[in-house]
Chain A
């Protein structure tokens, strides 16, 4: 079974803090993704990576950056958290472009 794990289920941070969200997959997948999920907006792609040290912007990259130093690990970074970044963050991975994406359980981030 494919397993995508995220470092925290719940996180509370203050405005202006630097926030790291970690994601690890155990199936040697090429692609990894970060989404945010908001009620009424569905899932929106923030960044994705198709190889180590490679990244591409998604639909809403502003205020975020990512890091992929190892194939199995993909980090989402909020350089200076703001209240409008309060959301559910979902990580996903896929073997190749044409394979299904497997999602982690999500991290609910609250920025106060």
Chain B
């Protein structure tokens, strides 16, 4: 049973557009929510992370929005670029980042 559900499975966006990827979780004890970015042939790399004491975190063009009552969080990529084309994974854990539960992944394609 997938404890973190991610959508959409794939996403195609035009250059300059906004990419939005959503995740929903079930375990209310989760207290750490990272997003990982994976390019073909590479391992995932941490992109941005949030803890539930804030509702939003922004780093450059990347923003996490967090809704604790709905048990949902999302990644927004503003001004999407072809170089952002990758697979994105949301994840969640409780009591630190040791035991991450990952979403299914979203393959993002940004067309030039």
Which residues does A use to contact B, with CB under 8 Å?
4, 31, 35, 40-45, 48, 50, 58-59, 90, 92, 94, 96-106
Taking A43-B44, A50-B98 as given, write out 15 further A-B residue pairs in contact, using a Cβ cutoff of 8 Å, ordered by the A residue number.
A40-B9, A40-B105, A42-B6, A42-B103, A42-B105, A43-B100, A44-B102, A59-B101, A92-B43, A97-B95, A97-B98, A103-B44, A105-B43, A106-B42, A106-B43
B97 interface contact, C-beta 8 A? yes
Cβ-defined partner of B46 (8 Å) among A43, A44, A100? A100
A103–B45 Cα distance when bound, in Å, is 7
Given A90-B44, A100-B34, A103-B45: A40 in contact with B104 (beta carbons within 8 A):
yes
CB distance from B3 to the nearest CB of A (A): 9
A50–B9 Cα distance when bound, in Å, is 33
Cβ-defined partner of B104 (8 Å) among A42, A97, A98, A105? A42
Enumerate chain B residues within 8 angstroms of A97, measured Cβ to Cβ.
Answer: 95-98
A43–B101 Cα distance when bound, in Å, is 8
B41 adjacent to A101 (CB under 8 Å): no
- When C-beta atoms are compared, the residue in chain A nearest to B106 turns out to be A42
CB distance from B59 to the nearest CB of A (A): 13
A31 adjacent to B43 (CB under 8 Å): no
A48–B101 Cα distance when bound, in Å, is 13
Cβ-defined partner of B97 (8 Å) among A35, A100, A104, A106? A100
Given A42-B103, A100-B34: A94 in contact with B98 (beta carbons within 8 A):
yes
Enumerate chain A residues within 8 angstroms of B34, measured Cβ to Cβ.
Answer: 100
Q: Mark B56-94, 1 if CB is under 8 A from A, else 0.
A: 000000000000000000000000000000000101000
B98 adjacent to A105 (CB under 8 Å): no
Enumerate chain A residues within 8 angstroms of B45, measured Cβ to Cβ.
Answer: 102-103
